[in-house]
Amino acid sequence: MPEVLVVDDSKVMRDMVVACLRPYPGLSFTHASSGLEAIERLSLKPYDLIVLDLNMPDIGGIEVVEFVRGQDTLRHLPIVIVTTRGDEASRARALQAGADRFMTKPFTPDAILGEVKGLLERVHG
Amino acid sequence: MDLADFLPAYLTEVEELLGIANTQLLALETAAKQRSASPRTVRELFRALHTIKGLSAMVDVEPIVSIAHWMEAALRQADHAGGRVPEDSIEPLMQGLRAIEQRVHQLAAGKPVAGASKGLLDRLEQLDATERGPQGSPAAPARLELEPTLAAKLSTSDQEQLLAGVAAGKRALRLDYVPSADRAAQGLTINTVRERVGQIAEIVKVIPVAGATNGGGNLTFALLLLTREDDAALLEAVGGPPATLRMVASSAPAGPASLPPPTSAESLLNEEEAAAAEPRRSGVLRVEVSRLDEALERLAALVVTRSKLARAVATLTAAGAPTRELVQVLQENARQLRDLRASILHLRMVRVGEVLERLPLLVRGLRRTMGKQVRLEMDVGDAELDKSVADRLQPTLVHLVRNAVDHGLERPDERRAAGKPEEGVLRLACHARSNGRLELTVSDDGQGVDVATVAARAGVPVPATPEELLELMCRPGLSTRASADTTSGRGMGMDIVKRIIVEQLGGELRLETAPGKGTTFSLCVPLTITIVDAFVFECAALRYAVPVSGVEEIIEVDTSRLVHPPGRAGGMAMLERRGQAVPLLSLERLLRRDGGREGPGPKAFVVRQRGMPLAIAVDRLLGQQEIVLRPLEDPLVRVPGVAGATDLGDGQPTLVLDLPALSAARGGGSRLESAAAKGGAA
């Protein structure tokens, strides 16, 4: 059963992401309300995919991506960035740091579901 | 799946974010006036607006997205300028925040959301929210000792914060916390660690460090902090070993900090620069009030059912049935219900600080519109009260604050002429009492209430006491203002304040005022009003209840020792209580019932009315129990002195009395002082 880590300092946004991904059969979800909490959870248990906000207190999404990509065990973990920052510089920095997908808010349920589905199928076949 | 389903949750979170934004913007205004940098404040404000913008985009509220976007842009510039904002940028930002609030309220009320005004967007777009401060930082009196990889993660403002802390006599430390599955199972996570450490130290930055740890982990969180706390407390806060602690700053004779520069440019767009702010909601679960109300309703039904059960068991016992075991189970059940009630009521409590958090903004607005100088001082501590009480209380406080600035405080020239500082002081204070009540005061150092004008407006003689003056001020429709303006003299008057505090909440409202010195309104309200402990008693063959929190003492009435002041035949008697003469009223008379009794009943409740003791005689005390207080919503059956109704378990509604209010409504209050004076003399 694939497990997704949903990281955003807004609880409503996390709930929205989970609601968008619910139609994917068998997914389970873990919430993290900050970048540090996400890093801690990743050190304690394996996940199949992260949905990650960029702008958070403590440390931001780019730093989380860099940290994850610096770990041998997490090097190939799929990462989807969801952010309000739609500028090209942010997109370039996120993808350069190692994010797999970059989505700007607002996104449609179908759009994020499609991205997550594609990434999970790429990993799990 | 429709994201519009998230609207209620969106509204709740955005309200919270607006509260944060308001607080940060006021802090930014203070910093702007002092021309000082405030990078963390700028970032916190930016983050709140950024989240509002993202959420609003998801639920498709374009006007809010636009306003938040341009406010963000201005704040990004301010961040580039090191967190400095010119004072004239604050007002457009305030207008932007107000505009977002208005649209959120429209959305909450189910009304169409107004578009973003072009004028406002232009003002925000043209905002040059940058204020160049003094360039370069002064030579640091200390040096940071950090590994280069960690030092590279620190921004200039992080470094400055650490060095400034050391200069102020604090220790700059690196505290390493090692997470583990066992610790997480015990509730020790990076979030709880930050909360615990944050209570005894100022956390400047938390940096995750990958690599093997003692105990088989592969991650360490390095917390860089400033503190005066001892090592043992800090280590305990992170769960003890394998945690470690080391100094990261030491005094240096002179010279700048020998740190490598941050690896990247400083801006809000740079994620490494995110401020190490305390997590806003870590360890907090937000629950909709309606769900808590539902839990309370279920509990209320249980309380009533338990009363029915107790009644049935009493009937069985009276019939001679063996009920000992049943009674024990009932007692156990009562204890469990009490614990459950405490837990649910605790869930419903909100900090008083949250109730008052919008008042600084209100005062700021009043300052500007009225051209008065006002300093708001707040001393609210960490008292808590029930959400339903808080919701009722808030509009009354807003009115009293408006009233103080409008009518109480003088204009700067008037204050100068009166030999006072030009800036008036408005003070809000509150503390929880041990009897389950909250005392709040709203005081100003203004001109005091013009008693003669109030009396003239009401067409009555000048009142002799503060109580009479307050009665007069609380008359519906009374205003000393010739015409309504935007500040006060409109909307809710003092009559509504009194109705909410006294009639709806069963609280007290008092007034103290002195010409030229100022005015203080004191409010005393119960912390909760739904399920309360009550004394059940009988009077004139009818059963009543009275909340325990309002009763100071229950005394025996010795009719042979009563004193009847002259001229009070058939009315009030006086009894002696520990050397003090206390007026005694008959509840039977107050209720205008005739139970056929000569003289007062044998028991009396001692309550406080306007700070003075007052005894109210009843026939028989039946016991003490938890009751569910149901307010009388229908205005046709609302009576002063009746707090509500309850079901004691027999299905019959029982009136819950507010004895001080009942006495005041029946004219007992106005006779107390004179009676006390005469009785004291007798």
d(CA B288, CA B295): 11
Amino acid at B467: E
3-state secondary structure B597-615: CCCCCCEEEEEEECCEEEE
Write out the two tokens for B264.
């990247």
Least confident interval from A5-19, B616-630, B656-670: B656-670
| pLDDT at residue A117, as a whole number | 92
What pLDDT is recorded for position B412?
92
Considering only CA atoms, which of A59, A32, A73, A5 is closest in space to residue B222?
A59
pLDDT of residue B266: 31
Q: Which residue has the higher pLDDT, B366 or B621?
A: B621
Contacts of A21 (CB under 8 A, 6+ apart): A4, A27, A29, A51, A112, A113, A116
Q: Is the pLDDT of residue B677 over 50?
A: no
Of A10, A34, A67, the CB nearest to B55: A10
Between CA B22 and CA B19 the distance in angstroms is 5
Q: Any idea which of A2-16, A25-39, B186-200, B652-666 has the lowest mean pLDDT?
A: B652-666
Could you please report the per-residue DSSP string of B130-184?
Answer: -----SS-PPPSEEE---HHHHTT--HHHHHHHHHHHHTTPEEEEEEE---HHHH
Tokens, residue B360: 């600084």
Q: Let me know the angle formed at the C-alpha of A93 by A87 and A99, rounded to the nearest 5 degrees.
A: 105
Highest mean pLDDT of the ranges A13-27, B132-146, B624-638: A13-27
* Cα angle B123, B126, B127; round to 5: 85
Q: DSSP class of residue B411?
A: P
Backbone angles phi, psi at B18, to 5 degrees: -65, -35
Please say whether the beta carbons of A32 and A6 come within 8 A. Answer: yes
Percent over 90 (pLDDT), chain B: 16
Give counts: helices (H), strands (E), chain B: 22, 23
Cross-chain Cβ contact B276/A58 below 8 Å: yes
DSSP state letter for B630? B
User: Å from B145 to nearest chain A CA?
Assistant: 22
Q: Which two tokens stand for residue B461?
A: 């003689």
CB atoms within 10 A of CB B652: 10
Alpha-carbon radius of gyration of chain A: 13
pLDDT surpasses 60 at B368: yes
Distance of residue A121 Cα from the nearest chain B Cα, in angstroms: 23
pLDDT at B259: 39
What is the spatial distance between Cα A93 and Cα B291, in angstroms, rounded to a whole number? 43
Report cis status (omega within 30 of 0) of the bond before B466: no
Is B295:B287 a contact under the CB 8 Å cutoff? no
Kindly report which listed range (A34-43, B506-515, B560-569, B629-638) carries the lowest average pLDDT score: B629-638
Q: Report the distance separating Cα A22 and Cα B364, nearest Å.
A: 46
Residue B50 CA to residue B46 CA, distance in Å, equals 6
Q: Does A36 touch chain B (CB under 8 A)?
A: yes
Q: How far apart are CA B629 and CA B64, in angstroms?
A: 41
Q: Which of A37, A10, A34, A26 is nearest to B10 (CA)?
A: A10
Query: What per-residue confidence (pLDDT) applies to B494?
Result: 85
Domain boundaries, chain A: 3-124
Mean pLDDT of the B383-404 span:
86
Q: Alpha-carbon distance A25 to B551, whole Å?
A: 61
* Residues in chain A within 8 Å Cβ distance of B203: none
**Cα dist. B417→A47, B408, B410, B449 in Å?**
72, 16, 10, 18
Residue of B nearest to A73 (CA): B218
Other beta carbons within 10 angstroms of residue A105's beta carbon come to: 19
Q: Taking residues B310-316, what's their average pLDDT?
A: 91
Structure-token pair, residue B250: 């030491």
Question: How far apart (Å, rounded) are the C-alpha atoms in residues A56 and B47?
Answer: 7
pLDDT value of position B444: 94
Confidence grade of residue B318 (pLDDT, cut at 50, 70, 90): very high
Average model confidence (pLDDT) across chain B: 79
Chain A hits for B265, CB-CB cut-off 8 Å, are: none
The CATH number for A3-124, chosen from 1.10.10.60, 3.20.20.140, 3.40.50.2300, 3.30.450.20, is 3.40.50.2300
Does B201 score more than 60 pLDDT? yes
Residue type, B532: V
Q: Quick one: pLDDT at residue B679?
A: 40
CB nearest A57 (choices: B9, B219, B274): B274
Confirm or reject contact between A30 and chain B (CB < 8 A).
no
Three-class secondary structure assignment of B169-184: CCEEEEEEECCCHHHH
Cross-chain CB nearest to B279 (options A20, A57, A84): A57
Q: Tell me the sheet residues that pair with A5.
A: A30, A50
CB contact under 8 A, A109 and B286: no
| pLDDT for the residue B269 | 33
Q: At what angle do helices B7-33 and A11-21 cross, to 10 degrees?
A: 150
Task: Give pLDDT tens digits along chain A (125 positions).
Answer: 899 999 998 989 999 999 999 999 889 999 999 999 999 999 988 999 999 998 887 788 899 999 999 888 888 899 999 988 777 788 888 898 999 999 988 888 999 999 999 999 887 76
Q: In whole angstroms, what is the distance from residue B309 CA to residue B315 CA?
A: 10
- Model confidence at B280, pLDDT cuts 50, 70, 90, reads very low
What average pLDDT does range B540-551 have in this prediction? 88
What mean pLDDT is predicted for residues B31-36? 81
Question: Region B410-423: what's the mean pLDDT?
Answer: 92
Q: Do B181 and A70 touch (CB under 8 A)?
A: no
Contact A105 B58 (CB under 8 A): yes
Per-residue model confidence (pLDDT) at position B278: 33
Nearest CA among A8, A21, A30, A31 for reference residue A118: A21
Chain A neighbors of B275, CB-CB under 8 A: 57
Contact status, residue B626 vs residue B531, Cβ threshold 8 Å: yes
pTM above 0.95, yes or no: no
Residue B536, pLDDT score = 94
Peptide bond into B583 cis (omega under 30): no
Segments in B404-439 forming alpha helices (H): 412-417
pLDDT at residue B271 above 60? no
At position B192, the amino acid (one-letter code) is T
Indicate the pLDDT class of residue B155, thresholds 50, 70 and 90: confident
Choose the mutation target among B58, B280, B285 for the interface with A, i.e. most A CBs under 10 Å: B58
User: How far apart (Å, rounded) are the C-alpha atoms in residues A112 and A99?
Assistant: 15
For residues B542 and B276, give the distance between their C-alpha atoms in angstroms, rounded to a whole number: 63
Nearest CA in chain B to A86: B54
User: Taking the alpha carbons of B575, B587, B551, B542 in that order, is the dihedral positive or negative?
Assistant: positive
Q: Could you report the per-residue pLDDT of B496-512, keeping only the tens digit for each?
A: 888 888 777 777 889 99
**CB nearest to B13's CB, from A11, A19, A61:** A11
Angle formed by the axes of helices B289-318 and B324-347, nearest 10° = 160
Write out the two tokens for B70.
């341009």
Of A57, A67, A106, the CB nearest to B60: A106
The separation between CA B557 and the C-alpha centre of its own chain, rounded to angstroms, equals 41
Q: What is the pLDDT of residue B279?
A: 35
CA distance between the termini of chain B: 79
- Between B480 and B227, residue with greater pLDDT: B227
